[in-house]
Amino acid sequence: METSTALLLVLLLIISLCWLLTLRSDKKHCFPPGPRGLPLLGNVHQVDKKAPYLTLRKFSEQYGPVMTLFLGLKRAVVLTGYDTVKEALVDQADDFVGRQPFPLLVRATKGYGMAISNGSRWQQLRRFTLTTLRDFGMGRKKMEAWVQEESKHLVAGMAEHKGVPFDPVFFFSCSVSNVIGCLVFGERCNYDDKDFLYILKSVGDFLRFASSPLGQLYNIFPRLMENIPGPQHAIFARIEELRKFIISRIQKHVETLDPSSPRDYIDCFLIKLNQEKDDPATEFHYDNLVGTVVNLFFAGTETTSSTIRYALNVLMKYPKVQEQMHQEIDSVIGRERCPRMEDRKSLPFTDAVIHEVQRFMDLVPFSIPHYALKDITFRGYTIPKDTVIIPFLHSVLKDEKQWTTPWSFNPQHFLDQTGNFKKNPAFLPFSAGKRACVGESLARMELFLFLVSLLQHFTFSVPGGPDSVDLSPEFSGIGNLPHHYKIIATPRN
């Protein structure tokens, strides 16, 4: 027992000495300033576990737009404000192109796929994915037709409740997932498919876990969390079911593949895999196919469905905004014709509301963390290789220099004095630069077509009235997730 105690004390002493040397090194090499932390914990004990973005905002007021935090033993540099984030991700794009091997995503994808890869793997997979998704209609007429068709299923499903309160999560998850499913799998699933519904719930539960205090701890101390009891093990078991679901779909594609007539993303990947099977430098292999499809499923399902759900929360909170959208949609499209993307330019207020929903929601406040693949010089500071880099998107979407009323929901942020839509360069909910979301154009299309279709047919309210709607996040971590409400979808006669 005495020997074990002595070894533990020696270990703690070594860690403390390393920590002190790190602090001295910070001064010597002109690293960005930041709050002092503790050995092992770093600054973790200072972070608000329920709303970590509030802590970073407070720190940035004291330490400036480029600051250092320690998440456990891991150094992280936080970039705050529109000017700082743009300078890094756009003006110095090549320096900041790295992606952190995010422990939760590494565990879910087994380290493969596009989202958390770097170097040649990332370049090959991203280029192929962007090209393939565009070929299959992402952001174009073919995809528009898919979203329009899915919106009819969504409206029909909601109409069945006939004004009785219900939870809309199921409908939004199914609709959005079916759109990405058309691109990736070449088909949609029925809303009563039990396997499909189980997979959707698994994706949603994973994102909620990732945004919980336990999920944040997993990203900081993954080895520790792997070896102690907790809900993380059940969550990862569910993700393994998702992987099996995807693998079964891939196997069906292998058995029915016609190289002369690819049906979807998986077919195109399999064709590329066969073409480059003898190339030792290729990244087109089975593990990367599974990992990338997992990436697309995560990115293409829960994020967009949560944004649609938050948009309804906003409209139930502010019924006058909803009424003005109704009037504009009625005057331009009516209640019978399917909305089209070309209608957006004739619906400036509706477009402004959708943009303001994304800005105010602040879905991914920290972006997906970047990574220093080499020593970086930025604004006179040194950011060492292997540093986690956090482009603090919350500080961009709430930047007081860029938005008139950043802390209020205000569609006028996207309207000029004559009521026409106006862009704002600080609107970066999909991040910016070379790591910006590959599905941005699809997400924009879905948000517009789904929401306009819903408002053509329904007036939305909540049983407790507007004052019962809380627009602050229910969970905040990797994502700001909206509160759940049963809604009333009253048909518009």
Q: What is the CATH number of the domain that holds 411?
A: 1.10.630.10
Dig out the tokens for 488 from the structure. 């009333």
pLDDT digits (tens, 9 = 90+) for 5-61: 444 444 445 445 544 545 545 555 689 999 999 998 999 999 998 899 999 999 999
Quick check: is 78 in a domain?
yes
Higher pLDDT, 2 or 462: 462
Q: What is the mean pLDDT of the chain?
A: 90
pLDDT at res. 140: 58
Cα separation, 390 vs 76, in Å, equals: 7
Dig out the tokens for 339 from the structure. 């909305």
Dig out the tokens for 62 from the structure. 């004291």
pLDDT at res. 102: 87
Cite the annotated binding site for heme by residue number: 437
In this structure, the dihedral spanned by the alpha carbons of residues 168, 172, 173 and 174, taken in order and rounded to 10 degrees, is 110
Q: Which helix (H) or strand (E) holds 475?
A: strand 475-476
Closest to 308 measured CA to CA, from 457, 140, 468, 455: 455
Quick check: is 107 in a domain?
yes
User: How are the residues of the chain apportioned to helix, strand and coil, as percentages rounded to the nearest 5?
Assistant: 55, 10, 35
Quick check: is 320 in a domain?
yes
Dig out the tokens for 52 from the structure. 């970590």
Closest to 390 measured CA to CA, from 72, 50, 37, 89: 89
The Cβ of residue 28 has, within 10 Å, a number of other Cβ atoms equal to 8
Handedness of CA 285, 290, 291, 296 (dihedral sign): positive
Kindly report the length of the chain: 493
Closest to 71 measured CA to CA, from 111, 110, 39, 41: 41
Listed in sequence order, the residues at least 6 apart from 419 whose beta carbon sits closer than 8 Å to its beta carbon are 348, 349
SS3 99: strand
Domains in the chain, number: 1
Closest to 80 measured CA to CA, from 57, 54, 46: 57
Q: In which domain, by residue range, is 220 found?
A: 31-491
pTM of the predicted structure, to 2 decimals = 0.91
What mean pLDDT do residues 464-470 have? 97
SS3 53: helix
Least confident of 205-214, 259-268, 382-391: 205-214
pLDDT at res. 10: 43
pLDDT at res. 11: 46
In this structure, the dihedral spanned by the alpha carbons of residues 469, 473, 475 and 479, taken in order and rounded to 10 degrees, is 140
Provide the β-strand partners of residue 370. Answer: 99, 389
Quick check: is 21 in a domain?
no
Least confident of 118-122, 134-138, 238-242, 482-486: 134-138
* Cα separations in angstroms, 93 against 88, 90, 127, 397, 436: 6, 5, 16, 20, 11
Residue 31 is given by DSSP the state P
SS3 463: coil
pLDDT over 90 at 465, yes or no: yes
The Cβ of residue 484 has, within 10 Å, a number of other Cβ atoms equal to 12
Cα separation, 229 vs 164, in Å, equals: 41
Higher pLDDT, 243 or 328: 328
**Strand positions, DSSP E, 49-160:** 66-71, 74-80
Dig out the tokens for 132 from the structure. 């393939």
Cα separation, 213 vs 392, in Å, equals: 19
Look up residue 176 and give its amino acid. V
Residues 89, 82 contacting (CB under 8 angstroms): no
Quick check: is 197 in a domain?
yes
pLDDT digits (tens, 9 = 90+) for 63-89: 999 999 999 999 999 999 999 999 999
Identify the band that residue 187 occupies on the pLDDT scale cut at 50, 70 and 90: confident
Quick check: is 20 in a domain?
no
Quick check: is 220 in a domain?
yes
Identify the band that residue 141 occupies on the pLDDT scale cut at 50, 70 and 90: low
- Residue 14: what are its φ and ψ, rounded to 5°? -60, -45
pLDDT over 70 at 428, yes or no: yes
* Cα separations in angstroms, 181 against 146, 249, 294: 10, 11, 12
What mean pLDDT do residues 177-203 have? 83
Cite the annotated binding site by residue number: 437
Look up residue 431 and give its amino acid. S
Cα separation, 427 vs 351, in Å, equals: 13
Quick check: is 24 in a domain?
no
Closest to 17 measured CA to CA, from 34, 40, 36, 1: 40
Q: Which helix (H) or strand (E) holds 9?
A: helix 2-29
Highest average pLDDT, of 166-180, 393-407, 479-493, comes from 393-407
pLDDT at res. 6: 46
